Structure 1
Amino acid sequence: MQRRKFLTNSSVVLALASTALRANAKSASKSFIVKAGEARFGIHTPFMGVNPNDVKISGKDTDGQLAVFEYIGTQKVGPSLHLHFDQDEIFNVVEGEYLFQVGEKQETLRAGDTIFLPRQIPHTWIQLSDRGKLTYFLQPAGKMEEFFLTMNNLKERPTMVEMNKIHAAHGMKVIGPPLSLK
């Protein structure tokens, strides 16, 4: 039953991604494979310094129409409450359990579940299980790859003022703190 649910959800996500790519986009001129544990251009961008958060399909591959990331969680953390000005996000839970907040509504998602997060709506999530894995899509790609590279290259945690500037430069706005399990 879980496998069927996963396949159904994955089909929906892929159909949405395919539709987005066909709309006046130049895509990569040849196919490619990004193996498990690898990043599209060999540059890993761990979230919060530990959890792998790698580009699998770059906005450079899709003429800016789509970016796909894989997140592997080994710690129970998540991003600040934020919004994207010009991007929709689609998350598919591959493994584990996550609590998502979209606007004021909170929803627990498990392996096989998919959630659509519209642009301009504040959202965040936190991993509930000891281990988790997400595949997520941004449409259009925007500057998310650059955002993760910038964050990954910081030598220390940025101040709130610096964090707001970094988010703004990449088409996002921090609205509030991350979710907490405490």
Structure 2
Amino acid sequence: MRRRSFLRAAPAAALANLIAHPALAAQIATPIPSPDLHPVASGEDRFGALHSLGFSDLAFKVGTQETGGNLFMIEHRNLRPGGPALHLHLNQEEWFYVMEGEIAFVVGEKKLTLKAGESILAPRRIPHTFSSVVAAGHLLIGFAPAGKMEQYFRDAKQDGALAATPEYMNRYDMQWIGPSPFRQE
């Protein structure tokens, strides 16, 4: 079959396939129900309760249940120098977007500093950490899939120091690698 003939025949074949499978045609024609929309203002938490691990103020932006476990988004405001322990996620990609200030990152063997409008992905099973370079940075973070991350932050609210221990992180499918290289104690 010549290419031009194939290009004309392909859409007709697809349509014929839909007609032959009415259940598939009905499924495609059925509109997806519109979810309840929940706009979340800057600095506000989706569920009305801010969180902290001691080096920033955390606001949940998109909860795990809203995405069927596929995504969890948080906003770090007033991110101070220091940051979390060097760690990795067994099952999540972690995406960082700098909203304000300058944020230093370690991702694997790379060390870099990003400014407002820049982003970086820390792939699963790659050690990473971050720290504000300025007095108060602002960062948006997404975890995909969400895994146990929302519960980690909810539970860590009780004791931020405990949240940075190897035993605690292991419960949430993370691995503690070492202290933050940005902490000056």
Q: TM-score range by the shorter chain?
A: 0.7 to 0.9
Letter aligned with residue 46 of structure 1 = S
Of 33, 37, 48, 1:42 maps to 48
Deviation at 1:84, TM superposition (A): 0.1
1:75 aligns with 2:80: yes
In 1, Cα distance between equivalents of 2:149 and 2:170: 11
1:43-71 Cα deviation digits (max 9, x unpaired): 211121x6211110011100000011000
* Aligned residue number for residue 157 of structure 1: 161
Task: Give the paired residue count.
Answer: 153
Letter aligned with residue 91 of structure 2 = D
For structure 2, list consecutive stretches of 5 or more residues without a partner in the other structure: 1-31
Identity of aligned pairs, percent? 35
Distance 1:132 1:95, change over 3 A: same
In 2, Cα distance between equivalents of 1:59 and 1:75: 26
Q: Which moved more, 1:37-46 or 1:54-63?
A: 37-46
In 1, Cα distance between equivalents of 2:183 and 2:70: 35
1:86 aligns with 2:88: no
Between Structure 1 and Structure 2, whose CA radius of gyration is higher? 2
1:128-166 Cα deviation digits (max 9, x unpaired): 011210011100011111111111112x73397xx2221
Distance 1:109 1:159, change over 3 A: closer
3-state SS, counterpart of residue 166 of structure 2: helix
Cα RMSD after superposing both structures: 2.1
